A = this chain, B = another copy of it.
Amino acid sequence: MDIETKKQKATTWFTEIRNQICTEFESIEPSGACFERTPWNRGEDDTPNESGSILKGGGEMSLMHGEIFEKVGVNISTVHGTFSEEFRSKIPGAQESNGNFWASGVSLVAHMKNPFVPAIHMNTRMIVTSECWFGGGADLTPTFEFEEDTADFHASFKECCDRHDPNYYLKFKEWCDRYFFLPHRNEARGIGGIFYDNLKTDWDKNFAFTQDVGTSFNKIFPALVRRRMDHDWSESEKDVQRIKRGRYVEFNLLYDRGTQFGLKTGGNTEAILMSMPPEAKWV
């Protein structure tokens, strides 16, 4: 399959899973709230931005504020351009491509009204430089952990991984634990999940896995939401959630590579920071 066909297949998938997820989330949300979609496009301007990179293409933000989903953003984007000299040394194959890159993906963060419903992050992407790979994952951030939910979440992604490669799960679970960690707090962001990157063994196989990550996510997370969304909660429990969200903010702004990558290549700030919680507190 030629690279342009691969790009198109991946992009089509990211749009499709975005649609499936938004439909599923809207079906859970009783308030009648819907995702509001905002497309954005940088056009084909070859002028380097302030970061020294050239960024072209665009995407679509989907944002919903509801009774169950206090704030959920689902973004898709397909961008291409040229990384700045400084940046290309950090990306596989970007020196060899003279900084040229193409990237497409779907990214999602949900902050839930009920503090007993966990926050979730899911992201999958395909990147092309002189190399071509997939990356992504999903991780769960409960404020109050239910062992049953943690077990079911991990089991779901273990099954997903095991359908594709017996070595994936342990590797990607450990990678997730390593990645979503706040060293300055010496604490994990949440209870983990899976994280993978630079996956380029076989395009068809890697694409099928990436699709399965999205599909698995769209089964297990809605199930957990439905399980906990009617749990009673008090304002003091809500405050514990707001404090936990402060840690989420710290992680995303201090350490998250996607956030830093996006902001430093002149990406769409509004889309990148859609991951920020609606409210956060610090003592």
With A and B bound together, what is the CA distance between A263 and B283 in angstroms?
18
Of A95-103, A201-209, A269-277, which binds chain B?
A: A269-277
- Identical chains bound together, number: 2
In the complex, what residues of B have CB within 8 A of residue A249's CB?
Answer: 249, 253, 280
Q: Mark A253-283, 1 if CB is under 8 A from B, else 0.
A: 1100000000100000100110011111111
Chain A residues touching B, majority SS:
mixed
Chain B, residue nearest A65 (CB): B283
Q: How far is the CB of A139 from chain B (nearest CB, A)?
A: 20
With A and B bound together, what is the CA distance between A191 and B182 in angstroms?
32
A184 at the interface (CB under 8 A from B): yes
Chain B, residue nearest A268 (CB): B184
4 extra interchain contacts, Cβ-Cβ under 8 A, other than A184-B269, A249-B253? A71-B282, A254-B263, A273-B282, A279-B280
Chain B, residue nearest A281 (CB): B279
Q: Which 10 A-B pairs have the closest CB atoms?
A: A253-B253, A276-B282, A184-B263, A184-B269, A253-B254, A280-B280, A279-B281, A50-B183, A249-B249, A278-B282
Question: Is B279 in contact with A250, judged by CB distance below 8 angstroms?
Answer: no
Interface residues of A in 169-200 (CB under 8 A from B): 183-185
